[in-house]
Chain A
Amino acid sequence: MKQLLFIILAFFSIQVSAQQKQFSKDDHGKFIYYKVVDSQMLSKDTLLQRAKAFVNLAYKKSMLQESITDSSILAKGTMVIDKTILVAGHPSGEVSYHFVFEARNGKYRFWLTDLLFIPYQRDRYGNFVATTKIGVPLERTPGKLNAGAWKDILNSTYSKIEKFGDDFKKYLANNRVEKAKKKAESISTKTW
């Protein structure tokens, strides 16, 4: 009984915290997820290399680099938005975005904007697939009939983008080359 109560409370607290998250708007009135990160120890070149690896290796299935300069990267990508009921659910759509990264010595900033939602529908084989190729801007205010569903989509998108941002910050904070070298070391049981 206690466990059940805990699960219910946890579920509602997740719901409440999800509802509190909201996108900020940029100068053009578009939703934006914007972060400035201090990274005192890292040079501009290192940050750029790591950001480039993030786009082209870590997220290569969902991101595509559009352009790169000596201090910035422009990419576009998509992320799948899930409709979740406790532990089970299914994809409800995908959100496409533009990703901008700019680096300076000791700090960097990145943002995601141009967020477009494409709904999924279950196809004849039971798979969820895009119903259209034309996305709907997330800033659009839906009619009363779909306000609740749209709010869920916004909350879910924000959570996904927040996780994406955390992944990106962690990726840039870690040296992948050293990590890979450490992984390759083998342990000998012959001597001890």
Chain B
Amino acid sequence: MKKLLTAIFAMASTTCVLAQETTTSPLEISGSVDTYFKYDFAKNPLNGKTSFVTDHNSVSLGMIDIALKKKTGKASFVGELSFGPRGQSQSIPDAAAGGSSFNIQNLYVNYDFTDQFSMTAGYMGTFIGYEVISPVGNFNYSTSYLFTNGPFQNAGIKATYKFSDKVSLMAGLFNDWNVYSATRGVSAVGGQLMVAPVEGWTAYINALSGAGFGGYGTIIDLTTAYQITEKFKLGLNAANYDIKDSSVPGSYVGGAIYPQYAVLDAVTIGLRGEYFKYKEAGAVPATSFTAVTLTANIKSGGLTFIPEVRLDHNSDKPFFNKSGAAAPNGGQFSLAAVYAF
């Protein structure tokens, strides 16, 4: 580990000499606010098996999110805080504070040693997966099983080398998932290969191995999006997570597809189709979900209305029907309003 860190810093200090000055940017302030109404067809809030959008028949809060960014020469920082259920009690690191504090979404410093090579240290949104915590970064308002079960954020240090606009490589050392400070040391190694084979198509092949959910494990992830025409975009996410101790539940495999079509300048319709399976772990049998989510994004300036219908299925009956009995299907309607500034 020491050798790897030494090598990274040696590389950084060498490339520092080659760097060119860049200009200073003004302080960037941005953020978002979101709120939603959800109606579970079985009138049972426990039917939601993925992150956020928890409340039934309630106008509820998402979060207020405020981000600051500043770049001076080659150095920059990003600080992003969120307040509200989506950013507090429903975001994992805040559990230790009883869900009453705030969640740091991003808190890191970055240094561009050259136009190609940069290093980043701090707490960052995870590089794994298609969806993110911020509702501004997602098309669908509800989240996928892949998102819910993967890491949300990673603290660590990473180095990124951009070979060209079409290829870049990131490698880093990270703490265990979703913690501000390591509970098991800097114990995970991660990497990301970005390729952009044709204009409009970007693919990320991600790997993270080390301390994570359920102990030590390895996650391999493919996240890709292709803007095929001006109106049609196709996204795909597939991931496999294996916990080293196969008797511990939490290993999974799954895939989700995200076709989206702009029917008007201000209106885009999108579908999310997902298959997700928890793997067998000791005496716990495997179980699998399929989910279809139909979503519209209606934009007016910074405001986006997101009506959404979601149907989930699992033959092991983890859902509840109106009378409270176990059921194989769950369904919900939600209407969210997200304002980004």
Q: Which residues does A use to contact B, with CB under 8 Å?
A: 85, 87-91, 121-128, 132-134, 136, 140, 142-143, 145-146, 148-149
Produce 1/0 per residue, B98-140, CB < 8 A to A: 0000000110100000000000000011110000101011000
Are the C-beta atoms of A122 and B134 separated by less than 8 Å?
yes
Chain A residue at minimum C-beta to C-beta distance from B69: A126
A64 CB, nearest partner CB in chain B, Å: 12
- Nearest 7 interchain pairs by C-beta: A124-B125, A126-B78, A145-B300, A90-B28, A145-B266, A149-B301, A133-B200
Other-chain residue from A85, A124, A128, A143 in contact with B264 (beta carbon distance below 8 A):
A143
Other-chain residue from A90, A134, A145 in contact with B299 (beta carbon distance below 8 A):
A145
List residues of chain A with CB within 8 A of the CB of B265: 140, 142-143, 145-146
Total of A-B residue pairs, C-beta within 8 Å: 81
Are the C-beta atoms of A122 and B30 separated by less than 8 Å?
yes
Other-chain residue from B106, B136, B199 in contact with A125 (beta carbon distance below 8 A):
B106
Q: In the complex, what distance in Å separates the CA atom of A87 from the CA atom of B80?
A: 19
- Within B245-283, which residues are at the interface with A (CB < 8 Å)? 264-266
- Within B211-262, which residues are at the interface with A (CB < 8 Å)? 227, 229-230, 233
Chain A residue at minimum C-beta to C-beta distance from B230: A134
Are the C-beta atoms of B67 and A122 separated by less than 8 Å?
yes
Are the C-beta atoms of B227 and A146 separated by less than 8 Å?
no
Chain A residue at minimum C-beta to C-beta distance from B106: A126
B27 at the interface (CB under 8 A from A): yes
Chain B residue at minimum C-beta to C-beta distance from A149: B301
Interface size on B, residues (CB 8 A): 35
List residues of chain A with CB within 8 A of the CB of B125: 123-126
List residues of chain A with CB within 8 A of the CB of B200: 132-134
Would you mind naming 28 contact pairs between A and B with Cβ atoms under 8 Å apart?
Answer: A87-B26, A87-B27, A88-B26, A88-B27, A90-B69, A91-B28, A121-B137, A122-B30, A122-B67, A122-B340, A123-B125, A124-B127, A124-B134, A125-B78, A125-B125, A126-B30, A126-B67, A126-B80, A126-B106, A127-B78, A128-B30, A133-B227, A140-B265, A142-B265, A145-B266, A146-B299, A148-B301, A149-B302
Produce 1/0 per residue, B195-208, CB < 8 A to A: 00001100000000
B216 CB, nearest partner CB in chain A, Å: 24
| A133-B124 in contact given A122-B340, A126-B105, A145-B298 (Cβ < 8 Å) | no
Q: In the complex, what distance in Å separates the CA atom of A97 from the CA atom of B30?
A: 27
B11 at the interface (CB under 8 A from A): no
List residues of chain B with CB within 8 A of the CB of A140: 265
Are the C-beta atoms of A121 and B136 separated by less than 8 Å?
yes
Are the C-beta atoms of B30 and A90 separated by less than 8 Å?
yes
Produce 1/0 per residue, B23-42, CB < 8 A to A: 00011111000000000000
Are the C-beta atoms of A89 and B227 separated by less than 8 Å?
no
Chain B residue at minimum C-beta to C-beta distance from A133: B200
List residues of chain B with CB within 8 A of the CB of A90: 28-30, 69
- Within B275-308, which residues are at the interface with A (CB < 8 Å)? 298-302
Chain B residue at minimum C-beta to C-beta distance from A135: B230
B51 CB, nearest partner CB in chain A, Å: 15
Q: In the complex, what distance in Å separates the CA atom of A8 from the CA atom of B27?
A: 20
Chain B residue at minimum C-beta to C-beta distance from A91: B28
Q: In the complex, what distance in Å separates the CA atom of A122 from the CA atom of B78?
A: 12
A118 CB, nearest partner CB in chain B, Å: 10
Q: In the complex, what distance in Å separates the CA atom of A149 from the CA atom of B264?
A: 16
List residues of chain A with CB within 8 A of the CB of B233: 132
Q: In the complex, what distance in Å separates the CA atom of A143 from the CA atom of B78?
A: 34
Q: In the complex, what distance in Å separates the CA atom of A85 from the CA atom of B132?
A: 27
Are the C-beta atoms of B106 and A133 separated by less than 8 Å?
no
| A146-B301 in contact given A90-B28, A125-B78, A133-B199 (Cβ < 8 Å) | yes
B7 CB, nearest partner CB in chain A, Å: 24
Q: In the complex, what distance in Å separates the CA atom of A149 from the CA atom of B301?
A: 5
Q: In the complex, what distance in Å separates the CA atom of A121 from the CA atom of B300?
A: 15
Are the C-beta atoms of A125 and B124 separated by less than 8 Å?
yes
Q: In the complex, what distance in Å separates the CA atom of A91 from the CA atom of B124?
A: 20
Chain A residue at minimum C-beta to C-beta distance from B128: A124
Are the C-beta atoms of A122 and B264 separated by less than 8 Å?
no
B324 CB, nearest partner CB in chain A, Å: 38
List residues of chain B with CB within 8 A of the CB of A121: 136-137
List residues of chain A with CB within 8 A of the CB of B78: 125-127
Are the C-beta atoms of B28 and A89 separated by less than 8 Å?
yes
List residues of chain A with CB within 8 A of the CB of B136: 121-122
List residues of chain A with CB within 8 A of the CB of B230: 134, 136
Other-chain residue from B27, B126, B199, B227 in contact with A124 (beta carbon distance below 8 A):
B126
Are the C-beta atoms of B266 and A132 separated by less than 8 Å?
no
